[in-house]
Structure 1
Amino acid sequence: MALIVLKRLLGALPNLFGIVLITFLLTRALPGDPAAFFAGPAGTKEAVEQVREKLGLNKSLPEQFVIYLKDLSRGDLGNALSTGQPVREEIITRLPASLELVLASLLFAVVVAIPLGIAAARHPNSWIDHACRLVTTAGVSLPTFFTGLLLTYLLYFVLGWAPSPIGRLDPYLTAPKTITGLYTLDSLLAGNIPLFIASAKQMILPVLTLGIFVLAPLARMTRASMIAVLSADFVRTARASGLSTTTVLVRYAFRNALLPVVTTMGMVFSFLLGMSVIVEKVFAWPGVGSFALEALVASDYAPVQGFVLTMALLYTLLNLAIDMLYVVIDPRVRLAA
């Protein structure tokens, strides 16, 4: 197991270096001059040059990249010019908000998509199969920002079932003491049930917006995998042996259909990381996505580079976790590795 982890981590290093290089070059290729932006509209040419020299933008691209790599080796992601704070501190502060949103959306998608896919596979061409197709088609067809605005209009403005989309918590409430940074979990650890309910309500709209999109590929893959497995000889043998329907579905069929579903979960997690940027902006969610988007508008390089590197690290760790799940689900994977 340790050897598998080491191989995966070493294999991810070239990818991470490529991401760092491409992100560095793309941020420099963006239109706009950060020195002119932060010097202000009244800044003279001399003032702009002073800001550029202070930021190190007067050096050549290779020199800037070498300096950036040296800073990264020390864990220094630079300073956010828009806030004046170190990017690392900003990401550490804001990342729990994004993770809470992404993980809750993934949980919602899994809870809905897997039972829906199994039910559709058990009863092909039935009303539940058609409902599954309708949900998955709508999920992948609607843009996330449109879904978010539509849900806000229906659930908040028309029906009043959801609270106003103003961030993680109502401004009249006090955030729980930081333990994990996840408001729902921290409020539970503190035993503050009303605060837990309030923070959970604020997640309804953004979680539904993200979850509806990613449950579509999960439900489709679950349905396709279960249909293939349910027609296998070992499933027919299990049924002929008199085993209960639940035992056949869970212990024999679903476990053998789980590998492609887990792979799809890794894919949709990457979708969530990307889409959270827009959703955070729509719902005023103070995560790293909205922070990076604001920095991008201001041509602030360091936060954008730090955001992309953080997302790449999260995706690498997720792929490692999926590889470990493969070993748990199917021990033959360990032999192949």
Structure 2
Amino acid sequence: MRAVARRLATIVPTLIGVVIVTFLLTRVLPGDPAAYFAGPTADQASIDQIRAALGLDQPLPVQFAAYVKDLATGNLGNALSTGQPVLTELAARLPASAELTLTALLISMSIAIPLGILAAVKEGSFIDHVCRVVTTAGVSLPVFFTGLLFVYVFYYLLGWAPAPVGRLDVYFTEPERITGFFTIDSLLAGDLETFRAAASQLFLPAATLALFSLAPIARMTRASMLSVLSSEFIRTARAAGLRSRTVILAYAFRNAMLPVVTTLGMVFSFLLGANVLVEKVFAWPGVGSFAVEALIQSDYAPVQGFVLAMALLYVALNLVIDLVYGLIDPRVRLEA
């Protein structure tokens, strides 16, 4: 518990730094939100009136003090583009981004980890060459290009995938929100038609992100397994007559998991950034597309709220990884 408390103590300066940097960056970006929302035909007096109403006519220290005061009360401001509180918008859109990101991570893990293990066990074989080709393709292809390519091939040419119009086709209604994940909520409601529609809409964007995240996971799994398989205790286990499956999964893979878990944490943080582009390609109504639209409109509050939410998720993820380390290897807890 002391290690967890020390870890939590490091979160405070991190979040303070994120708040300061985000506030300053939004203020130096080109564009004037007052002029944008006043419209192209507005005169200077109208623009000045909107700027005063938004508090943008105040000095930066005064604006920052007001922003910190609002944060202390849980107020992230209002999104000028929708008129709703930023916290409400993020809470409504975060499940969509989380469903997409977690599904992509599960797909990539289910492919990359077995592929990395097989490539290490059969080094130099055909499966090892396949692993290298797949990881190279995943690293080389930009995520937005992969998304557009998937839409062109599977929707436009083959007609296997539905139109990229968001989480559900226009002919279906949203299931009752329980978790915010349409696939899970439709199953809980017993609505298989909506589940199939939600899963079909989810597959292409999740596959796009999965290809992006597959490469580092497979590479790290292969490298870590190769290192462990050459260890003395593995040779001893083989000499003792243990089955190859037991040696590989129970002994080798467990000892190779720490670098893989670290990579999973890094990949998840990468996906939080990459899903911004994927959400725009597939019209996915997540927090990423919300932040991009706000950035285009010079709407400060949603951008600041998005960055702060991603920082909190990233910090929480690192804390979870530290706890998982202790479960995998008790020596980590002793050293902490």
Fold-level similarity (TM above 0.5): yes
Give distance in 1, aligned partners of 2:64 and 2:6: 27
What is the deviation of 1:187?
A: 0.9
Are 2:161 and 1:162 equivalent residues in the alignment? yes
Q: Secondary structure at the match of 1:203?
A: helix
Name the count of aligned residue pairs: 336
Summarize the alignment of residues 136-155 of structure 1 with structure 2, pairs less than 5 Å apart.
Answer: 136-155=135-154
The C-alpha deviation readout for 1:41-61, integer Å capped at 9, x for no partner, is 111111111101110001111
> Residue 180 of structure 1 aligns with which residue?
179
> Residue 48 of structure 2 aligns with which residue?
49
> Residue 263 of structure 1 aligns with which residue?
262
What is the deviation of 1:4?
A: 2.2
TM-score normalised according to structure 2 size: 0.99
Are 2:267 and 1:291 equivalent residues in the alignment? no
The C-alpha deviation readout for 1:10-56, integer Å capped at 9, x for no partner, is 11111111111111100000001111111111111111111011100
Are 2:168 and 1:133 equivalent residues in the alignment? no
Give distance in 1, aligned partners of 2:137 and 2:172: 36
What is the deviation of 1:5?
A: 2.0
Q: What amino acid is aligned across from residue 174 of structure 1 in structure 2?
A: T
> Residue 308 of structure 1 aligns with which residue?
307
What is the deviation of 1:322?
A: 0.5
Q: What amino acid is aligned across from residue 43 of structure 1 in structure 2?
A: A
Q: What amino acid is aligned across from residue 234 of structure 1 in structure 2?
A: F
Give distance in 2, aligned partners of 1:3 and 1:169: 46
The C-alpha deviation readout for 1:152-199, integer Å capped at 9, x for no partner, is 111111122211111000111011100010101111111222211110
Give distance in 2, aligned partners of 1:49 and 1:144: 41
Identity of aligned residues (%): 64
> Residue 232 of structure 1 aligns with which residue?
231
TM-score normalised according to structure 1 size: 0.99
Q: What amino acid is aligned across from residue 108 of structure 1 in structure 2?
A: I
The C-alpha deviation readout for 1:109-130, integer Å capped at 9, x for no partner, is 1100000000000011111100
Q: Secondary structure at the match of 2:56?
A: coil
Give distance in 2, aligned partners of 1:244 and 1:307: 50
Give distance in 2, aligned partners of 1:293 and 1:223: 36
The C-alpha deviation readout for 1:64-120, integer Å capped at 9, x for no partner, is 111101100111000000000000000000000000000000111110000000000
* Structure 1 unaligned residues grouped into runs of 5+: none
> Residue 80 of structure 1 aligns with which residue?
79
What is the aligned-residue RMSD (CA, Å)?
0.7
> Residue 114 of structure 2 aligns with which residue?
115
> Residue 210 of structure 2 aligns with which residue?
211
Are 2:66 and 1:67 equivalent residues in the alignment? yes
Q: Secondary structure at the match of 1:82?
A: coil
Q: Which runs of 4+ in 1 moved over 6 A?
A: none
* Structure 2 unaligned residues grouped into runs of 5+: none
> Residue 33 of structure 1 aligns with which residue?
32
What is the deviation of 1:204?
A: 1.2
Give distance in 1, aligned partners of 2:294 and 2:232: 57
Q: What amino acid is aligned across from residue 311 of structure 1 in structure 2?
A: M
Q: What amino acid is aligned across from residue 304 of structure 1 in structure 2?
A: V
Q: Secondary structure at the match of 2:10?
A: helix
Give distance in 2, aligned partners of 1:171 and 1:145: 24
Q: What amino acid is aligned across from residue 268 of structure 1 in structure 2?
A: V
Q: What amino acid is aligned across from residue 74 of structure 1 in structure 2?
A: T
Give distance in 1, aligned partners of 2:187 and 2:324: 28
Give distance in 2, aligned partners of 1:38 and 1:159: 42
What is the deviation of 1:234?
A: 0.5
Give distance in 1, aligned partners of 2:187 and 2:243: 38
Give distance in 2, aligned partners of 1:192 and 1:320: 36
Q: What amino acid is aligned across from residue 251 of structure 1 in structure 2?
A: A
Q: What amino acid is aligned across from residue 335 of structure 2 in structure 1?
A: A
Give distance in 2, aligned partners of 1:163 and 1:129: 34
> Residue 322 of structure 1 aligns with which residue?
321
Are 2:191 and 1:192 equivalent residues in the alignment? yes
